[in-house]
Structure 1
Amino acid sequence: MQLVKGKGIVLIHGAGLGAFIWQDMKLDWQVLRINFQNRGNGPANTGLHYKDYVEEVVQQIDNWTVDQIVIVGHSIGGCIALNIAARYPGRVIGFIGIAAAIPAKGGSFVSCLPPMKRLLLPLVMRIFGTKPPAATIKNGLCKGLDDEQTAKIVSRFTFESRELYLEDCEGKIPKIPRMYILTTDDREMPAETQRQMAKNLKTKDISKIDSGHLPMLQEPFKLSHLINDFCKKLDTQKRE
């Protein structure tokens, strides 16, 4: 497919979620909201490997004609964003992680977690699967959201394959402008863990939002402003 001159933002959601989480964002550039496979269809992703998730994102980007893009990865989407940046050298001009998992040395999502969670999560997933109980989703992932937003997240939460969490992403840190957005009231990815993720991303461009794990729903205006400001800086740097 022939690319057309333009600038866009690719938004990659986290595990269990979908493109719908970005619905309140107001971004200045064109936007591609990625969906992982089989959103809302229960345990249909059983058996998929990490690379299958990457290829699903690649397919959606390949069908998008914008020639310059910023990759935005939320949570586990940060792992996949690393792979995507490597697949499109020259086309990807910026990278943003939002409460994102950024593994050291191309590790897995689980490798990003604190030691105790790193040990327990594979066991929990083996016994109970990858969709937490509704109460756990409400108290953790939905921290800071209103009742309507919480109900939507719980009802639309999708089972993922265990391999998405456990297999190494083998992603390298892209040599392009990078920013990490840290969520300060996050029960899913604690602030201290996020600070380490920002170090792994090798960036000093760190912004904070006082929100839970889903700032695109809790604080969409503030998150939109941070992303738009990052993109404006890219424009300024290019003109200089």
Structure 2
Amino acid sequence: MSTFALIHGAGVGGGWYWHLVEAELRSLGHTTVAPTLWTGDDMDTLSDYADAVVDTVDTVEELFVVAHSFGGFTAPLVAERLPTAGLIYVTAMVPQSGESPADWWDNTGWSEAVRIQATKDGGLTGNSDPYVGYFHDVPKHLADQVSSNEPSPPSDTAYYEPWPLDAHPTTPTRYIVCTEDRLFPAAFQRQLAHDRLGITPDEITSGHAPALSRPTELAAMLHSFTS
């Protein structure tokens, strides 16, 4: 079977975010790791976050590296360092060489995409209330646990430093669009996957946190990529 290295984004509870998906994948015979990356040290770099993932992987099984949201800036660094069968972005930021996470938002046209979608859904997209913008389809008992599991924010060093790779890894890559996402609108995700990865994405009916709202469906999709 396979090992899945699961990389969390921001505002979803660190490595805890993946716990339901981990249970599903393990029931299918896979191994999983889902470290919480952010330590509160403001000198930590994106490479330090990649090191933290690499240090948890101890297997000769085929490896799939999965990134959620801000984790997209770390996952390719892991795929560059370890033999990797697949790199999978889940409603994630896809970086370009020399681009900082701070610059990604303007470079990708994110704010305009949010504005356009918000005019269609009455302001649900881009809503600052996390229960509306992030967790609208997550069971409340899970959404209520996010804040108690959330680590320190990512470091300013990591957020403002240029992404260090010269190009995206040659690892086979997929992108999963979350069609009901109110942070990264679905049309924006599809365009991002096309422009930056040159691929047609897979899709799942979910908001921005599918590991909490659709863990069984997400795990089944990840499992299908190992076939």
TM-score, normalised to structure 1, is 0.75
Q: Which whole-Å CA distance do the structure 2 matches of 1:187 and 1:45 have between them?
A: 30
Is the partner of 1:76 in helix, strand or coil? helix
- Contact 1:144–1:212 at 8 Å: present in 2 too? yes
In 2 relative to 1, CA 164–117 (structure 1 residues): closer, same or farther, beyond 3 Å? farther
| Aligned position for 1:185 | 180
Structure 1 gap ranges (5+): 1-5, 39-43, 119-134, 233-240
**Correspondence 1:213 to 2:213:** no
Shift of 1:163: 2.8
Q: Which whole-Å CA distance do the structure 2 matches of 1:76 and 1:194 have between them?
A: 14
**1:162 aligns with one of 156, 166, 170:** 156
Shift of 1:229: 0.7
Residue identity opposite 1:177 in structure 2: P
Is the partner of 1:155 in helix, strand or coil? helix
Structure 2 gap ranges (5+): 112-127
Is the partner of 1:37 in helix, strand or coil? coil
Q: Which whole-Å CA distance do the structure 1 matches of 2:210 and 2:80 have between them?
A: 26
- Contact 2:96–2:168 at 8 Å: present in 1 too? no
**Correspondence 1:71 to 2:72:** no
Q: Which whole-Å CA distance do the structure 2 matches of 1:222 and 1:213 have between them?
A: 14
| Aligned position for 2:51 | 55
In 2 relative to 1, CA 20–79 (structure 1 residues): closer, same or farther, beyond 3 Å? same
Residue identity opposite 1:188 in structure 2: L
Corresponding pairs, count:
201
Q: Which whole-Å CA distance do the structure 1 matches of 2:60 and 2:207 have between them?
A: 32
Aligned residues: CA RMSD: 2.2
In 2 relative to 1, CA 114–186 (structure 1 residues): closer, same or farther, beyond 3 Å? farther
TM-score, normalised to structure 2, is 0.79
Shift of 1:67: 4.1
Shift of 1:114: 4.6
